[in-house]
Amino acid sequence: MTTKKTAAADHASLVRMLRDEDFASLAARAYALKTEVWGKRVALRGLVEVSNVCARNCLYCGIRRGNAKTARYRMDEDEILAAVAWAAENRYGSVVLQSGETDDEPSALFFERVLRHIRAELGDGLGITLSLGERHRDVYRRWLDAGANRYLLRIETSDPELFARIHPAEQSWRTRLECLRTLRDLGYVVGSGVMIGLPGQDVDSLARDIEFLRDEGVDMVGMGPYIAHPDTPLAAYAPRLEREQLLDLSLRMIAAVRLAIPDANIAATTALQAIDPEGREKGLLAGANVVMPNITPRKYRGDYLLYPGKPCTEEDSELCRGCLERRVKSIGEEIAWGERCDPVHFERRTR
């Protein structure tokens, strides 16, 4: 594995990558860099969607508190532990625990207990990423002390005005930024990202998103296309990009992030697969090095619908595992079974 310095991609060259450069040559450059840093290897993160109960009201999200059509669930401690143990037994190097947000002490305590329980049962080998939203510094610290290593919190857009248009007034871009900085100060491996194709977002704004992720020292990047959910207020906003355009832009974003932050972990996200059955493979060939197979118990999957058309809601984890291995092999890559694959970027940042 090579350690790469952060590349100096300026605004104009990022805009060129997102709009003008021939896609095949852009993807080839990014894939070559990915192979130089990571080899032909793909890291796995087993995604457990632990609850869709949410106190927030993001205008685009299917599990927002205002969506009365969503049946709410919370996995209990044993169910979470069983899913994580399955991931460890099946040599997934790490897991992500993701949830809607409930900013209260019982939920802070619940995850603290779950984390201690996982570490007591499974030891320190497994990477544990949390994606539980905006919380107080003390809560982030308690979860880190209890055994979490990484935290994923998307900034959604680096443009505070666009952020304000897609969130209710009580949610602020500044708070999210402060959470990201707190996580970094505390010593988490930090992940962030944006949605691509939001109403009112242009290529200039997306180029600034990449500069934001680079300048904030983000170690992991998870980005995906915005997909309108009919039961959300943002769905009424038009025009939206056509599927082909959205796919092209999402893949260009992956490639441009790889070229701007060569040693970051970059995910080929589920939303990419939702707009193209081969979206994840295309993401890997455009420079991503991580996939996040869903390992949520099947009975809950249909209720964690952030957007319509989410793939794998009818499958179980076993089936997903086999399908994934075939897909990764089909593009000439190997899964890094049993490896945590910590981002080289984090090692460099904290050295």
Tell me the two tokens of residue 60.
Answer: 């685009």
Q: Which of residues 305-334 bind ligand SAM (CB under 6 A)?
A: 306-307
Q: Which stretch binds ligand SAM (CB under 6 A): 9-17, 55-63, 105-113, 277-285?
A: 55-63
Q: Which of 139, 304, 154 minimizes the C-alpha distance to 223?
A: 154
Binding flag, residue 195, ligand SAM (CB under 6 A): yes
Burial 162-188 (b: 16+ CB within 10 A, else e): bbebbbeeebebeebbebbebbbeeeb
Q: Which of 88, 128, 227, 249 binds ligand SAM (CB under 6 A)?
A: 227
Tell me the two tokens of residue 277.
Answer: 């059955």
Helix (H, G, I), strand (E, B) or coil at 48: strand
Q: How far is the CB of 305 from ligand SAM (least distance, A)?
A: 9
Binding flag, residue 246, ligand SAM (CB under 6 A): no
**Burial status of residue 159 (CB atoms within 10 A of its CB: 0-12, 13-18, 19 or more):** buried
Tell me the two tokens of residue 313.
Answer: 């809601």
Residue found by looking up tokens 């020292």 in the block: 217
Q: How far is the CB of 177 from ligand SAM (least distance, A)?
A: 13
Task: Choose between 143 and 307: whose C-beta lies nearer to ligand SAM.
Answer: 307
Q: Which of residues 60-119 bind ligand SAM (CB under 6 A)?
A: 60-61, 63, 98, 100-101
Helix (H, G, I), strand (E, B) or coil at 156: strand
Q: Which of residues 269-298 bind ligand SAM (CB under 6 A)?
A: 271
Contact call for residues 140 and 111 (beta carbons, < 8 A): no
Site string for ligand SAM, 146-165 (x = CB under 6 A): -------xx-x---------
Task: Choose between 261 and 272: whose C-beta lies nearer to ligand SAM.
Answer: 272
Q: Which residues, in sequence order, are bridge partners of residue 222?
A: 267
Q: How far is the CB of 243 from ligand SAM (least distance, A)?
A: 13
- Measured in degrees and rounded to the nearest 5, phi and psi for residue 51 equal -165, 145
Task: Choose between 142 and 348: whose C-beta lies nearer to ligand SAM.
Answer: 142
Q: How far is the CB of 273 from ligand SAM (least distance, A)?
A: 12
Cα–Cα separations (whole angstroms), residue 70 to 60, 66, 198, 230, 231: 14, 9, 23, 12, 9
Interface with ligand SAM (CB under 6 A), residue total 19
Task: Choose between 29 and 229: whose C-beta lies nearer to ligand SAM.
Answer: 229
Burial 14-52 (b: 16+ CB within 10 A, else e): bbbbbeebeeeebbebbbebbeebbeebbbbbbbbbbbb
Task: Choose between 93 and 199: whose C-beta lies nearer to ligand SAM.
Answer: 199
Q: Which of 229, 282, 310, 327 binds ligand SAM (CB under 6 A)?
A: 229
Q: How far is the CB of 167 from ligand SAM (least distance, A)?
A: 10
Q: How far is the CB of 282 from ligand SAM (least distance, A)?
A: 17
List interacting residues with ligand SAM (CB under 6 A): 60-61, 63, 98, 100-101, 131, 133, 153-154, 156, 195, 224, 226-227, 229, 271, 306-307
